[in-house]
């Protein structure tokens, strides 16, 4: 009888050890969710969480988007004797088609810096811009030229909400640039944009076409300031842009006659 009790005691010890092991494994799985237990470092990156505005998005999460330089781009991708034509504040149903027509007539590709709600309202124009081989640039939701004096959270919403609108309007086309309204860049806005694959984009020649100085004055400004650098600023939105269309009809052939080519702004240094 004593031998039987000893066998029972050993069996009880084995069962108790097995139950303890099972309990330990269960606790570990519940605490770690079945993962390695290491926190995803990408989740702590600025802007890596859900984007303002919510919902599904065609663009990959920020952690998988290849960042670009945070400094403000002015140079051309092609280098050499070339310029970057950039068009701001659209798309506009009246003026964007006319600008596209002039560009097409001269075989010129440009970068269109779009306002998010404008892109959302005119997705057909956004797709037309992309389909013609031009590039997209994010110009924020509200074109607030005082963004550099606003909280970082506000800047982030302006940039990322607009990005979402432009991407959805274009069926997920790449938006490789960010231009701050009025040049109101901040280190934070540049960081946010670059982390989401948008190179901050400046300009060298401000045509002041938004002031409606007359097409001849716009052309003279381009000629006088081209020595400042290759990136030229025009507008296809925000007002009456007939002067801009007329100026482009003069500027583009003038540039060609002087041996200039046309490029896109540099995204990454070559």
Q: 10 Å Cβ neighbour count for 234?
A: 25
Strand intervals (E) in the chain: 82-88, 111-114, 135-138, 177-178, 199-200, 205-206, 231-235, 261-263
State the catalytic residue, choosing from 71, 88, 171, 209. Answer: 88
Cis peptide before 229 (omega within 30 of 0): no
Sign for the CA dihedral angle at 267, 67, 56, 48 comes to: negative
The values of phi and psi at residue 73, to 5°, are: -85, 140
CB 196 within 8 A of CB 51: no
Catalytic residue among 134, 139, 235, 236: 235
Residue 196 annotated to the active site: no
Helix H or strand E encompassing 108 = none
Told to judge if 235 belongs to the known catalytic residues of this protein, a careful annotator would answer: yes
User: Which residue has 């599904």 as its token pair?
Assistant: 56
Residue matched to tokens 């860049």: 185
Q: Which residues are catalytic?
A: 88, 235
């Amino acid at each position: 009888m004593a031998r039987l009790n000893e066998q029972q005691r050993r069996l009880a010890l084995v069962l108790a050890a097995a139950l303890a092991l099972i309990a330990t494994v269960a606790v570990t799985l519940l605490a770690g969710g079945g993962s390695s237990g290491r926190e995803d470092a990408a989740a702590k990156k600025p802007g890596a969480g859900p984007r303002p505005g919510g919902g599904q998005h065609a663009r990959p999460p920020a952690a998988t988007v290849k960042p670009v330089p945070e400094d403000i781009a002015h140079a051309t991708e092609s280098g050499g004797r070339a310029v970057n034509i950039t068009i701001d504040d659209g798309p506009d149903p009246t003026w964007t088609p006319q600008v596209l027509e002039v560009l097409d007539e001269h075989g010129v590709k440009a970068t269109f810096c779009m306002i998010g709600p404008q892109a959302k309202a005119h997705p057909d124009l956004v797709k037309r811009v992309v389909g013609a081989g031009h590039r997209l640039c994010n110009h924020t939701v509200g074109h607030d030229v005082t963004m550099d004096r606003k909280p970082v959270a506000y800047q982030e919403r302006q940039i990322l909400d607009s990005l979402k609108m432009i991407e959805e309007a274009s069926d997920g086309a790449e938006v490789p640039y960010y231009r701050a309204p009025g040049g109101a860049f901040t280190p934070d806005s540049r960081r946010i944009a670059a982390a989401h694959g948008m190179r901050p984009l400046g300009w060298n020649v401000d045509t002041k076409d938004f002031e409606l100085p007359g097409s001849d004055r716009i052309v003279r400004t381009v000629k006088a300031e081209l020595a400042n650098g290759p990136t030229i600023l025009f507008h296809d939105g925000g007002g009456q842009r007939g002067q801009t269309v007329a100026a482009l009809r003069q500027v583009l052939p003038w540039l060609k006659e002087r041996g200039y080519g046309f490029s896109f702004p540099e995204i990454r240094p070559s």
